[in-house]
Structure 1
Amino acid sequence: MQLTDDDTLLFIGDSITDAGRDRADPASLGDGYVHEIARTLRERTPDGAGPRVLNRGVNGHRVYDLESRWGTDVLDHRPTVVTVKIGINDTWRRYDRDLASPVAEFEACLNRLLAATARELSARLVVITPFLLPTGPDQERWFEDLTPRTDAVLRAAEHHGAQLVRADLVLPHAAQDRPPAELAPDGVHPSPAGHRLIADAWLAEVAPMAPAPRR
């Protein structure tokens, strides 16, 4: 299904989605993968318009924070494509604040959000998996929490027929050819190059370029 100028693409998640957007400006997209996706889609459109794009990422948020604002930040905008990227803070807060987010509860919450969206809207669902490029042994141990959480994200996406963007595969694969810090200096927050990789993975999955006509 090709995106059109009539589509509204809404992205929601944590700081990786937020990417420094101006909260006082509802149209602000930040400087991350959402901005890159919007720019690419405009460039592909002959008149330079492209779909409407909304960024509703908020730094620091976990899945429960998304649930508290899902009605106003997602459903009220009646988007035609909803992209969710969440999970790394549910892991991170366990290690820096001893704030638990049991995987079963996390999965149940994400399921509720996707189910509510499917029930209230006729929107395409897209889920971006959480990822980590460890900067040292302390972050390496996060995988004991993040790996089962990523599995939960995969199950929820499959259950609700969501398209999947596997950031957990794309970024580690790219890090094989360069220092991981070039893609995520603190292991979590992408650099411009890391954001571009996420944007390209989203575009390949959700809005692939139509093949050129054969001559």
Structure 2
Amino acid sequence: MHITADDRLLFIGDSITDAGRDRTDSASLGNGYVREIAQTLRHLTNVAGGACPAPAVINKGVNGHRVYDLESRWTTDVIAQRPTVVTVKIGINDTWRLYDRGLPSPVAEFESCLDRILTHTRQHSSAARLVVITPFLLPVTSEQEGWYEDLVPRTEAVLRAARANGAQLVRTDLLLPRAAEESGAVALAPDGVHPSPRGHKLIADAWLTAVNGEELGEEL
């Protein structure tokens, strides 16, 4: 199914979604994959002759958030926005906080929380399509290599919750490591977590291919 001008695309997650957006400006999309998606959809509209406006795009990412933070603001930041497509990108902070602050996010609790917010969306925004972007890591230090012990089962939990709720998946946990084999991890995520412009572009293109059915070239 293609995105249309009637759609309201809402993206929610942590700093990877936030990408420096101005939270005092509801129209701000940040400088990451959400903006890339919005720009590409506008471009595709113009290529088609500009007969229809591009869909509304809303960014509700917040730097540092874990899945529990999303749940606490879900009604206001998601349901009340009346989205037709809801994209969730969460999980890496639930892992990261264990290693830098000793703050646990048990995988079973994490999965239950993610399942609750996806189920809540199906129940209260029944017309909305769900999209889940998996967490990823591109280790740039030996310490980060150890994070996989927590992240791998967490990613499996994300997959289970997404599939249980009929969500489309964007597998950045597969895409970005494969891309890093060619270009190197630092080129795609200098600190191993936060994407570079190229990394954000890869995420955006993967979302557009999965959700909008667009096979995108480098010119877009």
Report the TM-score range of the alignment, normalised by the length of the smaller protein: over 0.9
Q: Deviations over 1:126-175 (max 9, x none)?
A: 00000000011100000000000000000001100000000001100000
Partner of 1:194: 199
- Write the distance in 1 (CA, Å) between the matches of 2:148 and 2:22: 32
Asked if 1:180 corresponds to 2:185, the answer is: yes
Q: Who is 2:43 aligned against?
A: 43
Within the candidate set 86, 110, 113, 1:109 is matched to 113
Stretches of structure 2 lacking an aligned partner (at least 5 in a row):
216-220
- Which position in structure 1 is the counterpart of 2:30? 30
**C-alpha deviation, 1:49, in angstroms:** 2.7
**What RMSD in Å do the two structures reach over aligned CA positions?**
0.9
Q: Given residue 16 of structure 1, which amino acid in structure 2 is its aligned partner? A: I
Map of 1:37-116 to 2, 5 A cutoff? 37-45=37-45, 46-47=49-50, 49-116=53-120
* Code of the aligned partner of 1:140: E
**What is the CA distance between 1:178 and its match in structure 2?**
1.2
Q: Distance in 1 between matches of 2:53 and 2:89?
A: 25
Structure 1 distance, partners of 2:197, 2:60, is 19
Runs of 4+ in 1 over 6 A off after TM superposition: none
* 1:103-132 deviations in Å (ceiling 9; x for gaps): 000000000000000000110000000000
Partner of 1:138: 143
Letter in 1 for 2:85: V
Q: How far did 1:80 drift?
A: 0.1
Q: TM-score, normalised by structure 1?
A: 0.96
User: Partners in 2 of 1:208 and 1:148 — Cα distance?
Assistant: 29
Aligned pairs, number: 210
User: Quick check: 39-48 or 15-24, which moved more?
Assistant: 39-48
Identical pairs, percent: 69
Give me the whole-angstrom Cα distance separating, in 1, the residues matched to 2:75 and 2:27. 18
